[in-house]
Amino acid sequence: MKRNKPDVIWREILLGPVRPRTWWATAHLVMGALVSGAGLVLLALLLLSTVFLVTLPVVLPLLFPLVWGLASLHRSRFAGLLGERVDPLPRNHPEGRRERLVAQAFDRNTWRQAWFHVVAAVTETGSALLAAGLWSTAFGLLFLSALSLAAPRMLRDAEFIDPSNAQLETALVLVGVFLLFATPWVVRALAALDLAMARALLGPDQAKRLSHRVEVLTESRSAVVDAADAERRRIERDLHDGTQQRLVSLAMNLGMARAMNPDLPEIAEAHEEAKLALAELRDFVRGLHPAVLNDRGLDAALSGIAARSPVPVTLAVDLPSRPSPTTEAVAYFVVSEALANAAKHAQAGSAEVNVSHVRGTVRVVVTDDGIGGAHPGKGSGLRGLVQRVESIDGTLTVHSPVGGPTTLTAELPCAS
């Protein structure tokens, strides 16, 4: 049965004093005050000792590790008592003691954490004292009220409360009950504020978090692209070594049967269908991932495209070394699609393909002398090329005015 919202609120209020997270939050505040206070004292002593220049070489190697160590201790406190993670800050670890010391001294993250220790010493001490005061007052008033009811004479003799004053006793009970049920919410709010401050000063800032997120997404996308390319290569190998070989054998057998029985049109028709199916399968396999691309590289694979193209193609490939397999595959399909468009739609009489290495990228330029008018938004072929190029952080531009010529330029990272 679904609870009403007021029922849930009242249930949380009534159970607040016995909730484990209330006391974990209280322990968190107390532990924070102890750690922050001790840390601030140590930092102050180290900083004061720097007044004597003779101690400076000894103090500085201790000061910065202390700042980072205290920050790590605070992160453990948040994780252990609140179950909340505060992401660590990146840290430079150059080789050499002097280089490491200089790097830490000029590291912005070192001073962010040092500032947290100073601020936390004040805020967490105040929060711990406030929490302790509220709990002590609540339990103290309830304890005195209970004593007043159980032993009024003892209280009268001790001059704590005048038992004849019923209004005062009632007021103390009400205040004690109110503090008992209100303090858990105050304690949790103080712990939440402490967590927010820690994430602001001990954790990466928004720009760093976004940058890290972009890196993670880029790596995961690259892994997906590589996995898809590997799967295409696997399918190509399976089709080439299995189905294609069976079709070749079938076409050969039908060819021999056709030669032996030239008067049977059914065998001739089956032979032609087998050859057509074999040609279509070869085109399909080549479209998945050409075997020559793996075996001999981009130059040989593009030479095959140029030789099969109905449009005369001038090819120039100038790469100092082979790029990654994924980049080679994307470059191959860019040229293949561009030449197919030149033959089918552009009415081109000739085409030129140039592949070169420019400032850490593979630049692929395909130019034809056709009628122009090509645009990535008009056809699924070019649109698919744009998506494939962008999947490896490349760029694809198409310059194709009406009347031609058309120039397609792809900038691809060498390693992807």
Question: Rounded to an integer, what distance in angstroms lies between the CA atom of residue 187 and that of residue 177?
Answer: 16
Which range of 1-5, 138-142, 188-192 scores highest in mean pLDDT? It is: 188-192
pLDDT digits (tens, 9 = 90+) for 66-123: 888 888 888 989 988 888 888 887 776 666 667 767 777 777 888 888 888 888 888 9
Give the per-residue pLDDT at 189: 92
Would you call 80 helix, strand, or coil by DSSP? helix
Structure tokens belonging to residue 133: 């005061």
Give the confidence band of 52 by pLDDT, cuts at 50, 70, 90: low
Give the per-residue pLDDT at 1: 44
pLDDT surpassing 50 at residue 331 = yes
pLDDT digits (tens, 9 = 90+) for 102-112: 777 777 888 88
Question: Looking at per-residue confidence, does 237 or 404 come out higher?
Answer: 404
pLDDT surpassing 60 at residue 298 = yes
- Contact call for residues 412 and 396 (beta carbons, < 8 A): no
Question: Looking at per-residue confidence, does 161 or 62 come out higher?
Answer: 62
- Torsion sign across C-alpha atoms 324, 325, 331, 334: negative
* 113-122, 126-135, 162-171: range with lowest mean pLDDT: 162-171
Question: Looking at per-residue confidence, does 228 or 126 come out higher?
Answer: 126
Non-local CB neighbours of 182 within 8 Å, separated by 6+ positions: 134
Give the confidence band of 239 by pLDDT, cuts at 50, 70, 90: low
Beta-ladder partners of 395: 411
Question: Rounded to an integer, what distance in angstroms lies between the CA atom of residue 324 and that of residue 334?
Answer: 15
